[in-house]
Structure 1
Amino acid sequence: MSSVAGPGYCRWPQGSVLVMSNRRLPCLDTYLDKALIYLWPRFKTVFDMYIQSLYQCDAKMLWVDGTHPHHIVRCYMEFTASLVQLNAECGDGQLDMSLKRLRLAVDDLLVRFAEKFATKKLQHLFLLNNCDMAISILKEAGEEAKELRRYFEEKLESNLVSFVDELLMEYFGDLIKFVKNHISEDLISYTECPNIADVEPVVKNFAVKWRTNLELMHNEVVTCCSNFVSGMAILKAAMAQLLNDYNRLSECVKMIPGGPSLNRNLVSITSISYEIRKYSRTL
């Protein structure tokens, strides 16, 4: 990678031309033009080799069995952030295009790494942690990296939503499935009309396990997220979704024939909210 980054650390030939022009010193124009003609093709050749190596590498050999950010992605982000900053004054379109191609190659490698994990939950967590690390590095690069940072922010948000869905399905699967299959978002209509036999096991199972599962879910997120802020965002999203889905279940119980007989098994929304606030204070 050092050979790829080399020209950049010389402030990039175009940058040198700009500096000399601003200082009204044209005496080195010919030399700098020749340097650019010599360096750029070599830079592009090495850069293309770097991109090709990412596509051709054996993901199985480089994969690490853990969901924390991968060292190759960190190297890519630090390298990219440096070039983005160096190119800020010059606005070299060729370099911008090369960086986009590099991003696509790293995206491809990330997907191949993610596929090595056994569950979708771990796949989304791995991608989420890598995107989070990318955003942290790009923030240090300042405004010049805002476009690339926005790309990873959108990617992080998408994986966060998917991870929350998988997390809730693991710990509160019967509740999530029931709400998704039977109750519309407006709480007025049913996508599939339930009866007391459908809803009773869901209500009773939640009443017995909700506190334990909430704690387990909290502990998992705190342990597996590489960034405290992202972990907090995941927990807030998961708990808000859980509260919303249980509220929809409670409303469903009131509306179906025989539903009031389950009132003693329903957990109050206040109790769930109180428990969620306790965890929120520990984030």
Structure 2
Amino acid sequence: MPRFISGQAVFTGFNLCFLVNISLWPRFKMVFDSHISSLRDANIKTLWEDDVHPHYVMRRYAEFTASFIHLNVEYGDGQLDINLERLRMAVDVLILKLAKLFPRPKQQIVFLINNYDMTIAVLKEAGPEGGKIQMHFEELLKSNTSLFVEELLVEHFSDLIKFVKSRASEDPSSNPERSITVAEVDPLVKDFGSRWKTAIELMHKDIITSFSNFLCGMEILRAALTQLLLYYTRLTDCIKKIPGGSGLNKDLVSIQSIMFEIRKYSKTF
């Protein structure tokens, strides 16, 4: 008798849950679709604000999504996952449209990074179950961070980067007529040596005023300084292959000095 009652109770509970799901899902789907439609049909010019910090619509999306992800952990409703993915795709399009309204590419990237970073933080607060959606925004954050690092470095070291990308990897023996000369790299060496510390300080100030999350900003600064070190290392390696290049050694900044600056800023973590 007890087993029968227990089994009957489980069966009845299952039916009740099933019936509730069937009865509520159409209404829930309608509400969910209205959220997606509101994102797709949003007036971008009305929503846009001249502010690179996280947009309120993105925060609402993050909190809404985090709540459902948390509730769905044990239940594992595949239909809900599908609709959360539809919602994610809609907000992706919206945030990109808003970003494009900023006049400068760097502002666009900063805006996206701030919104992606905030979304990840909200999803993490709800629990470790962010899953595919959290991974998606982490990938977007990573790719946009790389874009920002390049934008920032080009802003301060454009000639150095242009040379490294176009000339530093050339083999002198393959085309003697276009061999790199001391006269070609001398201005690069002297320019870097005269203002690299000032440029790094300007980069630091730019980052701390641009990014809402201090830790995210410092990670980006460290990535930028590391990339700068790589560019400069390629320049110094190139100089070693140039006839008479040793004459520039007195003007070269040591790799240890750049490493010291990187460690100095890393202490703010």
Q: TM-score, normalised by structure 2?
A: 0.88
Report the Cα offset of residue 186 of structure 1: 11
Using the TM superposition, name which of 25-34 and 234-243 deviates more. 25-34
Aligned residue runs from structure 1 range 47-196, under 5 A: 47-184=32-169, 193-196=179-182
- Could you say what the CA RMSD is over the residues aligned between the two structures, in angstroms? 2.6
Whole-angstrom CA distance in 2 between matches of 1:187 and 1:143: 53
Unaligned segments of structure 1, at least 5 residues = 1-20
With over 3 angstroms needed to count, the CA separation of the structure-2 counterparts of 1:180 and 1:189, relative to structure 1, is farther
Residue deviations 1:207-230 (CA, integer Å, cap 9, x gap): 111111010001111221111221
Name 1:216's counterpart in structure 2.
202
The SS at the match of 2:50 is: coil
| Partner AA of 2:99 in structure 1 | A
Name the structure 2 match of 1:197.
Answer: 183
Q: Does 1:229 find its partner at 2:203?
A: no
Greater Cα offset, 223-232 or 158-167: 223-232
Judge conservation of contact 2:88–2:133 (CA < 8 Å) in 1.
no
Counterpart-to-counterpart distance in 1, 2:220 and 2:60: 26
Q: Offset of 1:188 from its aligned partner?
A: 11
The answer to whether the 8 A contact 1:183-1:189 is kept is: no
- How many equivalent pairs are there? 262
Residue identity (%): 52
Cα distance, 1:172 vs structure 2: 1.3
Q: CA deviation at 1:189?
A: 8.7
| Structure 1 residues 189 and 26: alpha-carbon distance in aligned structure 2, compared to 1, 3 A threshold | farther
More displaced stretch, 69-78 vs 80-89: 80-89
What is the match of residue 9 of structure 1?
none
Distance 1:24 1:243, change over 3 A: same
Retained in 2: the 8 A contact 1:138–1:146?
no
- The amino acid across from 1:281 in the alignment is K
Give the whole-Å Cα distance in 2 for the aligned partners of 1:157 and 1:231.
13
Flag the 1:136–1:123 CA change in 2: closer, same or farther, 3 A.
Answer: same
Contact 1:63/1:113 (8 A) holds in 2: yes
Contact 1:176 1:245 in 2 (8 A): yes
Partner Cα separation in structure 1 for residue 86 and residue 209 of structure 2: 34
| Greater shift in the superposed pair: 28-37 or 204-213 | 28-37
> Which shifted more, 230-239 or 263-272?
263-272
Shift of 1:234: 0.7
**Matching residue's letter, 1:156:** L
For the residue of structure 2 that corresponds to 1:101, the secondary structure is helix
Distance verdict in 2 for CA 1:81–1:22, change over 3 Å:
farther
* Bigger Cα displacement from structure 2, 255-264 vs 208-217: 255-264
Amino acid at match of 1:236: R
CA distance in 1, matches of 2:196, 2:72: 53
Deviation by residue 1:118-139 (Cα, 9 ceiling, x = unmatched): 2222222111111111111111
Letter in 2 for 1:177: K
Return the offset for 1:195: 2.2
Partner of 2:3: none
Task: Say if 1:183 and 1:252, in contact at 8 Å, map to a contact too.
Answer: yes
Residue 181 of structure 1: how far off its partner (Å): 1.0
1:33 deviation in Å?
A: 4.5
Q: CA deviation at 1:275?
A: 2.4
Q: Does 1:250 align with 2:236?
A: yes
The one-letter code sitting in structure 1 at the alignment partner of 2:219 is: A
* SS at 1:143 equivalent: coil
- Partners in 1 of 2:171 and 2:216 — Cα distance? 30
Task: Give the conservation status (yes or no) of the 8 Å contact 2:109–2:147.
Answer: yes
What displacement does 1:87 show?
1.6
Shift of 1:30: 5.9
Q: Residues 172 and 180 of structure 2 are in contact (CA less than 8 Å); yes or no, is this contact kept in structure 1? A: no
